[in-house]
Amino acid sequence: MSRLDVRGIIFDIKRFAIHDGPGIRTTVFCKGCPLNCAWCHNPESIRPDPEISLMPDRCIGCGHCFKICQQHAHRMNGDKRVYDRDRCVVCGDCAEKCYAEAIEIVGRQVTVAEVIQEVEADRPFYETSRGGMTLSGGEPTQQFDFTHALLAEAKLRRLHTCLDTSGLTSWDRLDQLLPLVDIFLYDLKDTDAQRHKRFTGVDNDLILENLRRLNDAGAEIILRCPMIPGINIDDQHLTRIADVVRSHPRISEVNLLPYHRLGMSKSDRMGYDRPKLTEQTPAGQEVEEWLTRLRDLGVTTARRS
């Protein structure tokens, strides 16, 4: 099979991205993630397969989905509209025929050729801004063959590449991707192992080990740290972030990612029963205080992302 024919499942391609690596970038979002972060802002990325997103507030009550669904997943129960996900086979007929666009399929199968064609469309912007392609998710290494083929094709075309990864994967996979990635955007969810396991489902041992290995292998790394009120915002966490940076000289920059609540509405649309965090997005002044603290600890490259 040609590299261009390798297939993967993505849920979005975001053009003109400016927070996913240097310059103007096109970010490709892969489905599938081994983590289950309580604060996830892309919950539609967790499951590997295409899914149905339903936005009831857009529904105009035309009843067309009731007629077209062969599985009777869409129906009325008295005066209440019901969507039964257990019956649904995600054929997509309802989404295709929904006049109000209240039903969407999240996730589509694509080839490397299809993705690279869209990425190449913005080459002039990459050249003037020193941007390129970023592969994100989810966790791109979950679809290793697709990720490897797409990054290899991008490098063949002399495109700058970033890989946004949680680090929760085998070292063998990261090692194979190492020559194809210009910058690793490495997500360190928490520096406390027990807290990491409680709020993501796994501890951070493998994540920290892979970070060390990437550093020792000479990779360029941008460390990205989500800051979640009520969970990991404390001075100990900031101090440990600084310790990680000092012990990994290949970390060129630290990005702090303040929590936002956009993932909650996405979870509702996808039918996920996920924890509801009540915390608000941190104010700008609070974020500046974190950055000041990190700079006091010697992390001069810290910034908000």
Write down all domains in the chain, each with its CATH number in brackets.
3-48+107-304 (3.20.20.70), 51-105 (3.30.70.20)
Identify the band that residue 97 occupies on the pLDDT scale cut at 50, 70 and 90: confident
Rounded distance between C-alpha atoms, residue 136 and residue 159, angstroms: 16
Identify the band that residue 133 occupies on the pLDDT scale cut at 50, 70 and 90: very high
Is residue 135's pLDDT more than 80?
yes
CA distances from 173 to 18, 129, 161, 192 (A): 27, 30, 16, 25
For 273-304, the pLDDT digits (tens) are: 877 777 788 899 999 999 999 999 999 999 99
For position 189, what pLDDT does the model report? Answer: 97
Name which of 33-37, 65-69, 77-81 the model is least confident about. 77-81
**Residues 167, 187: contact at Cβ < 8 Å?**
yes
pTM for the model: 0.94
User: How many C-alpha atoms does 294 have within 13 Å on its Cβ side?
Assistant: 28
Identify the band that residue 80 occupies on the pLDDT scale cut at 50, 70 and 90: confident
